[in-house]
Amino acid sequence: MSTAAPPHPAPAAAPDAPDRLTHRATLIAALVALVGGAAAAFVAWWALDRTSLPAFNTSMVTRAVATAGTVLILGLVAVFLTWWVFDRDRATGARPARPRWRVLLTYVIAYLAPAGLVVTAVAVPLSASRLYLDGMQVDQEFRTQFLGRMATTWANQDMNYEDMPTYYPLGWFWLGGRMAMALGMPGWEVYQPWAVVSIAAAASLLVPIWQRLTGSLPTATAIALTTTAVTLVMAADEPYAAVIAMMVPAMTVLARRAVAGSWWAVGAMVVLLGISASFYTLYTGVAALTTVVIALIAALSRRSWAPVVRLVVIGVGSILIALISWGPYLWAELSGQPSESAVAPNFLPEEGTQLPVPFLALSVIGLLCLIGLIHLIVSFRGHLDVRAMGIGAIVFYGWSLASMLSTLLNTTLLGFRIDAIIALQLATAGVLGLATLRRVGLQRLPAERRVDGTARTVTLVGVVLILLGGLHYAQQIPTRNEDAIDHAYTDTDGYGERADRFPPDAASHYEDVVEEISSHGHEPTDTVVLTDENRFLAFYPYYGFNAFTSHYANPLGTFNARNDVILEWGLQSWDELEDPADFAAALDEAPWRAPDVFLFRGELDEIDEDDPEGWKTHLARDLFPNQPNVRYDALFFNPASFADESLWATAQIGPFVVVTRNG
């Protein structure tokens, strides 16, 4: 192969792209959209936080307000962008003449509309709660714990284990921690506004990105709104993944342009892949694999090493960015610190056993995905960007299939998580297909028909149909997320309250538990707690002696070894470790820092010496490939092992027995 690429076809862009931004304008617009979307969402959240809307799960008022907001946003977009298209259709020059105020207003509406949709579809339904989607359910517990840890430190720190770099990418959580510090909020409480702000910022950022790629502001806005709506339905509960998923379709197009010779696209891919690796590794892996496939196809078809060289630049540059997050952990592994195999991929729900076919769904998005599939097939040979998107879709499906086959190796590739980016890829292709259909259709109209208003009528009918379809889907977002929203109202928050004003559960005693621990000189950021009360560690930044489950555990934390030691302590507390001094000595002999606090379930003053049950905690066991993949085994500790008041202080707080080490 030669190093110089031979002439190759230019991207099959739209014949008229009057809205295409220059490289410099794209950078400025991206910054404005990112900051503007974040600021608008935060101001909206702040205002909603000070309202008194009723709980989503006990009233229809919040749903009505959310729908009204969505209608207003989509209506404004439809009016101003239709006006924009009409100007372009009747213009005789390269750029239609428009009053400056309308150009500015149209840009503001287009750039902020995706952020507005995030506010109306997510922030409004959650406005009467402090919790985010899914409340404090299993996955949100570990995410909340991570954000809470980042709210107390600027360092690369594991969410649970003391003095250990994080295994999970810290980018989104670290930025959220900075927001928590700036607002003076605990990590668990900043989760909701940070999720809303970050998703809104990413959604608005899509507009200038796609405006550069398509050369059309209306098409870019339509893609951004579609992407936002689909993401809010399929991935909103995982905001750090959602913001990356939204970028994947654009990354497939940028990858094609990068390997074709655009160094601006190379730079964009370096930044996007680097940030992606610092936020969510699964989508990074899929996007990186797609980039590799596109580069190899380009290299083989052109008989040139140039695409491979650009691929190497992308890889090296993005890895250097990713090392900001991953460097400390990788160094710890390479330096020989004790570790165990990561079991995070050991999860296979039912949806991970089937290939997603969103284009067969009887819905607006199903129809759009079907149009996208047809567009990918029809335009695969003649349109280079569409071809890249088609290759991306094939890679996504290949990943999903490989995930199923990897179960034979007792693991998965978390293929069920790919469903979201498959739907986003096809829906984006659908919007591009509709834009192409309109352009080609109008070009085939006789000249007199274009002048007598037929073109305008066709455009108007298309806009109305798309608006109604989009509105139908967008107004259902809160309903599609109803269970997740309900959890935000029914779960007890870090202040011991339920947003729907019903009586809280045992978490309402956590504040008293913290006071008891602090009364013995143990501050949260310098205290190790052994407990199965996962929400306690999510609300308060104590270090856990062990992680919630092995799936969320840092391999450097040696989860299974710690579990075995805890089991040994519990069982032997009824035998050779019954004496408090012997028990305390056994704790100190462990290879890790001993627990300063034990938080059990039990009764302090009702121990039957003839038939003692003891104080209870639980140990999580990985059962993969079984589903459910985790089992919780009860473990009882002997109260006699804590009976020496010179070593331990005990207190009954609600259903909890709090055992705190003295000294």
C-alpha closest to that of 533 among 506, 552, 551, 515? 506
Domain boundary among 423, 444, 465: 444
pLDDT at 11 over 50: no
> Do residues 90 and 223 both lie within one domain?
yes
Q: Is residue 590 scored above 90 in pLDDT?
A: yes
CA distance 661 to 530: 12
pLDDT for res 445: 59
pLDDT at 450: 54
**What is the percent of the chain with per-residue pLDDT over 90, rounded to a whole number?**
81
Same domain, 394 and 519: no
Euclidean distance between CA atoms 283 and 118, whole angstroms = 21
Confidence band of 483 (pLDDT split at 50, 70, 90): very high
Lowest mean pLDDT among 300-314, 330-344, 525-539, 562-576: 330-344
Amino acid found at 456:
R
Q: And the tokens for 120?
A: 């109306």
Residue 519: CB atoms within 10 Å: 11
| φ, ψ dihedrals at 570, nearest 5° | -65, -45
Among candidate residues 292, 325, 358, the one where a domain is terminated: 325
Pick the closest to residue 117 from 387, 648, 474, 401 (CA basis).
Answer: 474
Residue 18 lies in a domain: no
Element (H, E) at 615: strand 615-622
CA–CA distance, 89 with 96 (Å, rounded to integer): 9
Q: Confidence band (pLDDT; 50, 70, 90) for 2?
A: very low
Q: What is the pLDDT of residue 440?
A: 76
Token pair recorded at residue 281:
């590794």
pLDDT at residue number 165: 96
Pinpoint the alpha helices (H) of 121-186.
Answer: 138-150, 171-183
CB 203 within 8 A of CB 118: yes
pLDDT tens for 137-160 read: 989 999 999 999 999 999 999 999
Q: How far apart are CA 521 and CA 534, in angstroms?
A: 22
Question: Does 7 fall in a domain?
Answer: no
Diameter over CA atoms, the chain: 100
| Band (1; pLDDT cuts 50, 70, 90) | very low
Which residues does 1 contact at the CB level (< 8 Å), separation at least 6? 299, 303, 304, 305
Regarding whether 412 and 263 lie in a shared domain, the answer is: no
Q: Is residue 288 part of a domain?
A: yes
Residue with the two structure tokens 């008041």: 645
Say what percent of the chain tops pLDDT 70. Answer: 93
Tell me what pLDDT residue 612 has: 64
The answer to which of 258-272, 331-345, 518-532 has the lowest mean pLDDT is: 331-345
CA 519 to chain centre: 38
Clarify whether residues 656 and 517 are in a common domain: yes
CB 434 within 8 A of CB 371: yes
pLDDT confidence tier of residue 94, bands split at 50, 70 and 90: low
Instruction: Band the pLDDT of 16: cuts 50, 70, 90.
Output: low
Report the SS3 class of residue 522. Answer: coil
The answer to whether 470 touches 74, Cβ cutoff 8 Å, is yes
Do residues 476 and 486 lie in contact, with contact meaning Cβ atoms separated by under 8 Å? no
CA dihedral 96, 100, 106, 109 (to 10 degrees): 170
Assess if residue 460 is contained within a domain: yes
Query: What pLDDT shows up at residue 4?
Result: 41
Q: Tell me, yes or no, whether 183 lies in a domain.
A: no
| Same domain for 437 and 368 | yes
Q: Which of 276, 296, 325 lies at the terminal end of a domain, its last residue?
A: 325
* Same-domain pairing of 213 and 344: no
* Tokens (6 digits) for 345: 């991929």
pLDDT of residue 300: 94
**Res 77: pLDDT:** 96
Residue 260 falls within a domain, yes or no?
A: yes
What ranges in 14-60 are assigned the alpha helix state H?
A: 23-49
- Residue 461 pLDDT grade (very low, low, confident, very high; cuts 50, 70, 90): confident
Query: 591 vs 338, 567, 573, CA distance in Å?
Result: 11, 15, 19
The residue that leads in pLDDT, 11 or 283, is 283
Q: What is the pLDDT of residue 309?
A: 96
Q: What is the mean pLDDT of residues 189-209?
A: 98
211 lies in the same domain as 93: yes
- Answer whether residue 341 shows pLDDT above 90: no
In the prediction, which pLDDT does 323 show?
96
589 plus 571 within the same structural domain? yes
Residue 19 pLDDT class (50, 70, 90 cuts): confident
Residues 125 and 253 in one domain: no
Position 156 in a domain: no
Q: Establish if 123 belongs to a structural domain.
A: yes
Q: What is the three-class DSSP state of 635?
A: strand
Each residue of 62-82: pLDDT tens digit? 999 999 999 999 999 999 999
Same domain, 530 and 468: no
Size of the chain in residues: 663
**Number of folded domains in the chain?**
4
| Domain of 199, in residue numbers | 23-145+193-238+453-495
Residues 41 and 84 in one domain: yes
CB 149 within 8 A of CB 141: no
Dihedral sign (CA 423, 472, 432, 372): positive
Residue-wise burial string across 485-508, b where 16 or more C-beta atoms lie within 10 A, e elsewhere: bbbbbbbbbbebbbbbeeebbbbb
| Residue 366 near residue 359 (C-beta atoms within 8 A) | yes
Integer Cα distance of 276 and 197 in angstroms: 17
* Residue 199 and residue 316 in one domain: no
pLDDT tens track for 246-293: 999 999 999 999 999 899 999 999 999 999 999 999 999 999 999 999
Give, in order, the Cα–Cα distances in Å from 73 to each of 76, 84, 114, 180, 365: 5, 16, 9, 29, 19
Cα–Cα distances (Å) from 337 to 475, 542, 549, 594, in that order, read 51, 23, 21, 19
Dist CA 6 CA 152 (whole Å): 55
